[in-house]
Structure 1
């Protein structure tokens, strides 16, 4: 069996189409099966976006194809389940091409033979499948005999709809690939693959449990693409020769001829009637299942739509709140920027003022130091001059014998204590005056130093306030930015989840 591929599926399917120019294929003609077609259209892939809307483009195209085929093939007409195959084709090509490929599959690949002569060829396919089970899966074949489970009870849809009615679409696409490449016999490969992979579960079931497994659990198992891929690999690896199928077909026809010869016509008709009744009951059950699935899908879709609308309203409200928060944050940012600018201007003025005071105090201190230096120099010069003058006087006194008697050894005048006291008083007054001037200058220096210290303290205080203000401005900017960024991230995160 050839390997199947995913790419260019539409082109490859379209290559197999039949050129149709017959007027019977026009959908505008009346069909006696309109009601059945309309009923099946609403049950075909009700959860798929393209087919879920009543009266939508998908359902309209599907109705046209099914109706056109019912007019085109007057012998078979429309049969239940054809809508699923037509829908699969519509997902890959326009409706005209899909109709052509459908006709190709029905006529050239022999699918319509299954619907002829009271499904005689379909029962032949069931017999071939059971014989293949007897060869490939004997233990499961014997188990089905024990519980009286026949192939037509579980495999009718596999042959009539090519697995399109129950199984996931990505698995169905692969089956159609194989069908168009290898022919209708690939149904046996896929059917044996399904039975073989489910053997362990089926061996544990009774009659009712087996039917429920085929109807519910088996399609769910292949919703996993990995399981579907393994199934297709198993189906491709199984070798079923056409010679063997021909042999089983011959056995079936021989068996049917023997039964026809041995059976009374009334018994044969009764048996055929029972078989048709069973098929009718099975089809009605499948219709009920499809109707239930349709209702369930619509309820789920309505619930999902309501939830989506509620989430959309909540997201819109949150978006409005986020926008308002963003506007408030921008206003707060502008206000903080204005306050920061005012604070910077105030700090700049205070710094300029403090620098001016420092320069003024430095000038005063410089002048004070200069005055003290000048006074010290004048004092030293005066003391030096006085010492020189006193030495001159002493020298003159020592040289004069007459004057020497008026002075004692210390250089003071004898007997003139009053003059001495007067001289001492004058000297003391001069010293006191100099001391007072010195104290005043020291006091002025201390005041200047005190002012300098106060100015430095003010400068340090202003620098501290400036640092606090800058930190507050920076913290306010970070807080506003983080709050705005968090709001935007939150809004973006919620929308991202809803979109996934």
Structure 2
């Protein structure tokens, strides 16, 4: 066949007979054809399909190459020529007919093999058994006698299955996303509960500190009131001491005046009486001086106490000025 005709035939096979669809990305059309073959085996070769299911042999393990190469990969050329002639005449149905014919002829042998034996039989033994010209004609004759119906029904089943699988996959993806969101929400809830516990602990500490500072403020007010009372008492004592000193000084002056008057009036008394009077006056003067010294000592002691109280009061007032703003800021938090 000339190159131009061969290329045109290839284009016709790819587009006219639908072989191109089997090679597209994902091989979705190929898997659909394999599903159709599996359903035909369930219908016409029930025991062989059950044996394959028990072994775990699936159609794509042996029939993928059949559909993709139109049986040209391993089978002898006499059989391939017959298959191509029928394929060009009938189209895609020929692939199912030939596949079922091959499975029917090898049915007894396949039922006796295990998994490895089945795959080796498809790969080596089955092509060898098709080398004879007579075997090729019988296979093609058997293939032409096999009826393949309900392919459209099986195609719709596969499309429905794919659609349901896609929906399930979508649901699974959504479930995974919801699980991730749920996990994140649980983590956020745990973190929020932890923060809430910390906030409650901090609030309890603040309440305890507030009670403590309130007690400190109350004690401070009591101390200030007590110091103010002591200061007023000391001031009253100091004022009373000053009044006593003034009265004593007035008394001394009065006694001196009286003494002078008496001296003037008693100038004519006797010397003995004067001496006696002088002694009395000296004794009284000594007592007055003694009392005056005692009063001065008491006055000095009271002055020292007053200064100490004033210093303590001043220190307390300074502490009040220093602590009060801090206390106000603390209580206002």
TM-score (norm 2): 0.51
> 1:131 corresponds to which residue?
39
Matches within 5 A, 1:102-251: 102-241=10-149, 244-251=150-157
Q: CA deviation at 1:264?
A: 4.9
Structure 1 residues 170 and 135, CA, compared in 2 at 3 Å: closer, same or farther? same
Q: Deviations over 1:318-366 (max 9, x none)?
A: xxxxxxxxxxxxxxxxxxxxxxxxxxxxxxxxxxxxxxxxxxxxxxxxx
User: Could you tell me how far apart the structure 1 residues matched to 2:95 and 2:39 are?
Assistant: 14
> 1:94 corresponds to which residue?
2
> 1:309 corresponds to which residue?
none
Q: Deviations over 1:163-197 (max 9, x none)?
A: 00101111101111111111111100000000000
User: Could you tell me how far apart the structure 1 residues matched to 2:165 and 2:97 are?
Assistant: 29
Q: CA deviation at 1:263?
A: 2.2
> 2:253 corresponds to which residue?
none
User: Could you tell me how far apart the structure 2 residues matched to 1:112 and 1:249 are?
Assistant: 17
User: Could you tell me how far apart the structure 1 residues matched to 2:117 and 2:2 are?
Assistant: 41
**1:167 counterpart SS class:** coil
User: Could you tell me how far apart the structure 2 residues matched to 1:162 and 1:236 are?
Assistant: 16
User: Could you tell me how far apart the structure 1 residues matched to 2:39 and 2:46 are?
Assistant: 9
In the alignment, structure 2 segments of 5+ residues that lack a partner are: 174-333
Q: Deviations over 1:203-225 (max 9, x none)?
A: 01111111111000000000011
Q: CA deviation at 1:265?
A: 8.0
**1:134 counterpart SS class:** helix
**1:263 counterpart SS class:** helix
User: Could you tell me how far apart the structure 2 residues matched to 1:183 and 1:265 are?
Assistant: 39
In the alignment, structure 1 segments of 5+ residues that lack a partner are: 1-92, 268-500
| Structure showing the higher helix proportion among its residues | 2
* Equivalent position to 1:261, from 143, 167, 184: 167
Give the aligned length.
173
**1:119 counterpart SS class:** helix
User: Could you tell me how far apart the structure 2 residues matched to 1:166 and 1:200 are?
Assistant: 21
**2:98 counterpart SS class:** helix
**1:127 counterpart SS class:** helix
Which portions of structure 1, spanning 4 or more consecutive aligned residues, are displaced by more than 4 angstroms? 264-267
Q: CA deviation at 1:152?
A: 0.5
User: Could you tell me how far apart the structure 1 residues matched to 2:171 and 2:140 are?
Assistant: 44
Q: Deviations over 1:213-244 (max 9, x none)?
A: 10000000000111111111100111113xx1
Q: Which has the larger radius of gyration?
A: 2
Q: Deviations over 1:44-99 (max 9, x none)?
A: xxxxxxxxxxxxxxxxxxxxxxxxxxxxxxxxxxxxxxxxxxxxxxxxx1222111
> 2:193 corresponds to which residue?
none
Structure 1 residues 94 and 260, CA, compared in 2 at 3 Å: closer, same or farther? same
TM-score (norm 1): 0.34
User: Could you tell me how far apart the structure 2 residues matched to 1:120 and 1:95 are?
Assistant: 31
**2:26 counterpart SS class:** coil
> 1:42 corresponds to which residue?
none
Q: CA deviation at 1:117?
A: 3.5
